[in-house]
Copies of this chain bind each other. A is one copy, B any other.
């Protein structure tokens, strides 16, 4: 197989791997799977969540945001990723953009809360594994609906 064809095959596999990063961000966060959530980030990553949460650097920063700020802020959370478009710079570097709807409850409330956001990512493959090197978040809306309630069926 020619080098060019191998590169095309590799590119398609990279697309699947990058999509899995975006998906496992949600699975890790929402199912409170700390190891899975941490596995998607490079050691030297930057996570710019923006208002009202701020910016976090490196594995330690991401871990701090997750454990000390975000998980305590949420009760139920369900992130739904969509519209992933990946742009490859070369075989080991890419940028991507996706949208996310998050539905859930804040920790001190049962009211349904809806968040819509866009994630712009910088991705890098090192030692054969794609990781998120930078995620910039723009939150379009973040609101709770009074008089509503979210809960699991019993």
Minimum Cβ distance to chain B for residue A119 (Å): 12
Give the residues from 103 to 145 in chain A that come closer than 8 angstroms, CB to CB, to chain B: 103-104, 112, 114, 116, 118, 139-143, 145
Is A60 at the interface (CB under 8 A from chain B)? no
Q: Which residues of B lie under 8 Å from residue A103 when comparing CB positions?
A: 101, 114, 116, 141
**Of the residues B79, B85, B147, contact of A147 by C-beta under 8 Å:** B147
Contact A152 B141 (CB under 8 A): yes
Contact A148 B151 (CB under 8 A): no
Minimum Cβ distance to chain B for residue A11 (Å): 8
Interface of A is mostly: mixed
Contacts A76-B141, A103-B116, A112-B114 given; indicate if A82 touches B85 (C-beta within 8 A). no
Minimum Cβ distance to chain B for residue A10 (Å): 9
Is A20 at the interface (CB under 8 A from chain B)? yes
- Please report A residues at the B interface, Cβ cutoff 8 Å: 1-2, 5-6, 8-9, 12-13, 15-16, 20, 22-24, 26-27, 30-31, 51-52, 76, 78-85, 97, 99, 101, 103-104, 112, 114, 116, 118, 139-143, 145-154
